[in-house]
Amino acid sequence: MNPFQSGILAPLPPLARHLFFSIAEPQGLPAALDALLPLVDGDRSVAGLGESLVHALDGRVAALRTFPALSGAGVDVPSTQHALWCWLRGSDRGELLHRARALQAAVAPALRLELATDTFVYDTGRDLTGYEDGTENPQGEDAVAAAFVTGAAAGEDGSSFVAVQHWTHDLDRFAALPPAAQDHVMGRRKSDNEELDDAPPSAHVKRTAQESFDPEAFVLRRSMPWAEGGAAGLLFVAFGRSLDAYEVQMRRMAGLDDGIADALFGFSKPTTGGYYWCPPLREGRLDLRLIGR
C-alpha cells in the first residue's frame, strides 16, 4: 500500500474547502494534532504542516522552509505563511462546511482558523479566464516522481511538499483584451488549447515550461477557481518532491531571471503564499514520526 496522501494524486473533486491555521496556544499543539489525526484520511482530507508548526513541536523536516516574499520586474509575490493547511475535498458544500467546522473545533484552541476558501471545478477544469488549467501536469508514474519523496527513511518516504497561493483576477480587464491578445498572455489558443509557436517571451507557457529548467522543474498542479463576493481567481496548489521546482518557476514568472515578468501579472496578482509539508500515511493516518508524534 502506497504511503501517499492519495487525494494528492486523485482527480480534482467538484468542490473543495481550504483551511489555513495559525498557532494560538503552543502548549496545546500535541493534543491538537492528536485530535486532527482521525479527521484527516489523506483522501477526502489532505493536510500540510508549515515550518512554524514543525519547529514548535521540535521536529525536523530538512527540505521545508517558509514561503519567500519576492519582488520582481514590477511585480510583488507576498508571503502569508500559516502553520497548518487543510484541503477538504468533496461534492456537497454543506457537507464540506460541517467537516471544516469539526476540524476547526478539534484543533482549537491551539490552532486558530485564519482563512477559509471554497473552490470549485469550472467546466472541464478551466481557469475562470476560460483557458484549460494544468495542461502540462505529469501523469502516472511521472506524477508520483514529481510530487512525492520516494526511497527515503520511514516517516519521510511518501511525503510531499506543496505551494499554495491565492491569485486574484481582474476578469473585466482580461475580457477587454482582444482574443489574440488573451492567447498571447497564456501562450495557448483558448479554442483548442494548442501552444502558440509565436507566443512572446512573457507568455505564461514560456515562463513556466517545466522542461526548460535545469534541472527540469516538474510539479503536480491541483489548482481550482474561487469566487467570493465581487472577487474571483485561482487557488493555485502545486505539489512536489521538494519546493525547488515551484520556486524556480515562480522566480522566472516574477522576472528575476531575465527581467521579463509573466504576462499573467497584467490581469492577476498573488495575494497569499505558503509552503507546507504533507506527511505520508501510516495505517491510514498521518505519519508524524518526524515531529515526534
In this prediction, residue 293 carries a pLDDT of 80
According to the 3-state scheme, what is the secondary structure of the chain? CCCCCHHHCCCCCCEEEEEEEEECCHHHHHHHHHHHHHHCCCCCEEEEECHHHHHHCCCCCCCCCCCCCEECCCCEECCCCCCEEEEEEECCHHHHHHHHHHHHHHHCCCEEEEEEEEEECCCCCECCCCCECCCCCCCHHHHHHHHCCCCCCCCCCCCEEEEEEEEEECHHHHHCCCHHHHHHHHCECCCCCCECCCCCCCCHHHHHCHHHCCCCCCCEECCEEEEECCEEEEEEEEEECCCHHHHHHHHHHCCCCCCCCCHHHHCEEECCCEEEEECCEECCEECCHHHCC
Spans of the chain below 70 pLDDT = 1
CB contact at 8 A, 177 and 185: yes
In this prediction, residue 134 carries a pLDDT of 86
In this prediction, residue 210 carries a pLDDT of 87
Backbone angles phi, psi at 89, to 5 degrees: -110, 140
In this prediction, residue 136 carries a pLDDT of 86
pLDDT tens figures, 118-137: 999 999 999 999 999 988 89
Which neighbouring-strand residues pair with 175?
none
The Cα 220–Cα 218 span in angstroms is 7
The Cα 19–Cα 272 span in angstroms is 13
Strands 268-270 and 160-169: antiparallel
**Contact residues for 227 (Cβ-Cβ < 8 A; gap 6+):** 120, 128, 233
In this prediction, residue 135 carries a pLDDT of 83
In this prediction, residue 90 carries a pLDDT of 98
The Cα 1–Cα 6 span in angstroms is 11
Backbone angles phi, psi at 70, to 5 degrees: -125, 140
The Cα 76–Cα 74 span in angstroms is 7
CB contact at 8 A, 139 and 211: no
Strands 160-169 and 76-77: unpaired
pLDDT tens figures, 153-194: 999 999 999 999 999 999 999 999 999 999 999 999 999 999
Q: Which residue has the cell 491538537?
A: 32
Domain boundaries, the chain: 6-291
In this prediction, residue 60 carries a pLDDT of 93
In this prediction, residue 204 carries a pLDDT of 96
**Contact residues for 99 (Cβ-Cβ < 8 A; gap 6+):** 17, 39, 44, 45, 88, 90
